[in-house]
Amino acid sequence: MISVELSKRFKKIVRDARRESEVSASIRLVIKGFGKPHLHTGLSIRKLDQRLFECRTDLNWRLVFEAEKGVLTFDFAGDHDEVQNYLRGKR
């Protein structure tokens, strides 16, 4: 079973953007499909780095999470440019 953790930053971004319901639905889909590569494309899961992934809630908004054994930690959400800036800071 995969557990999910949400960082304070992630919670604040989602709350401020008023996207709680769509993010919650996307996270549920990720939990069901993560680790099943054939489902990743349909769920818009994309590998960004060794343990870093993103999924889309819609065409303009993405959720960034880190995958460790049994745990998915969602740390950031935003549009393409915001995610790119976040990733530059992580490298």
Domains annotated on the chain, with CATH = 3-90 (3.30.2310.20)
pLDDT at 33: 85
The pLDDT tens digits of the residues spanning 3-48 come to 999 999 999 999 999 999 999 999 999 998 887 766 656 678 899 9
As a whole number of Å, the end-to-end CA separation of the chain is 30
* Res. 91: pLDDT tops 80: no
**Verdict on whether the full-model pTM lies above 0.85:** yes
pLDDT at 40: 53
pLDDT at 13: 97
Six token digits for residue 74:
């969602």
Cα 48 from Cα 28, distance rounded (Å): 20
Across the range 50-76, mean pLDDT stands at 94
Contact 58, 50 (CB under 8 A): no
Contact 76, 86 (CB under 8 A): yes
Would you mind telling me the total number of residues written for the chain in this entry? 91
Cα 17 from Cα 43, distance rounded (Å): 21
Beta partners for residue 73, in sequence order: 5, 66
Across the range 52-76, mean pLDDT stands at 94
